Structure 1
């Protein structure tokens, strides 16, 4: 029984050690001075450096390589930052242009709405209700004048017809009177002639 316990304990310890060793070996394989992130490169230098008391002895070539890689990374970051800043400035200018266009469009829209809501009559701007009121007042006034004109025209026409009828009757009476006068005149002339003839005979 003691043997089994010892064997089990040994197996577990050996398994744990093997796993840690394999993991460390995998980590060391993943870490590299010439690839990966700056953090991984620093980790590679720290792990692969020799230890002496509380110090680490690092190869100069590793330090120079790490410095070069760090500078390259910083330059890349600065380039990305500058590119991003240029994009931001471009977008800011575009946003300002869009704001200006939006403001101009809003002003045009307000003017269009104002023009749509107002009408011009005789060169005077007025609101649609006032425009309708004035327009319908003008139409009403003209309609009343038209009705008055029609009434006057019909009345005048009736008077004219009556006058023409009276004139015609008067002309007929005058013609009758003239004819009667002519007949009387002829009759009187005949009588006068008869009297003259009688006087001549006697």
Structure 2
């Protein structure tokens, strides 16, 4: 019974691993590579007894652990895929409901397309268009006027700043000249006081 179970498990995992395997590792072993390559390695290192293969208990435990790990990884991936599938189905349902709402709004808009009310009064499309274009032109003119006023005031401000900078420069120069004159006068005064006989 155990032999039949092991043979079935061996065949099952061999088929699963062959379908998922992409490349074999550089050197076959029980610690790396695909499950299929690990079974091949186990088959290679196992001894023969009549028509049976004698497998070391540690190797068998290692391969069982590797297969269990692979199954757990596949289970985790399956859970993740199911979760993604559920989320996408929910997104599809939301999008379908939004599309139904948009379809209803579109049909309502198409019904109201030919006639509409503006400020509580029914108005024709051409009149509405004329009013809107008039408002656009008036606003554009106002914008251009304010831009012109802004550029003019900007020029005035620039000139005032330049004049201020020149005035500050002249003031600084005048202050330096005054300080130089004061120092010169103080020096002359000190020299004059020093020359005076006591």
TM-score, structure 2 as length reference: 0.45
Q: Which has the larger radius of gyration?
A: 1
TM-score, structure 1 as length reference: 0.44
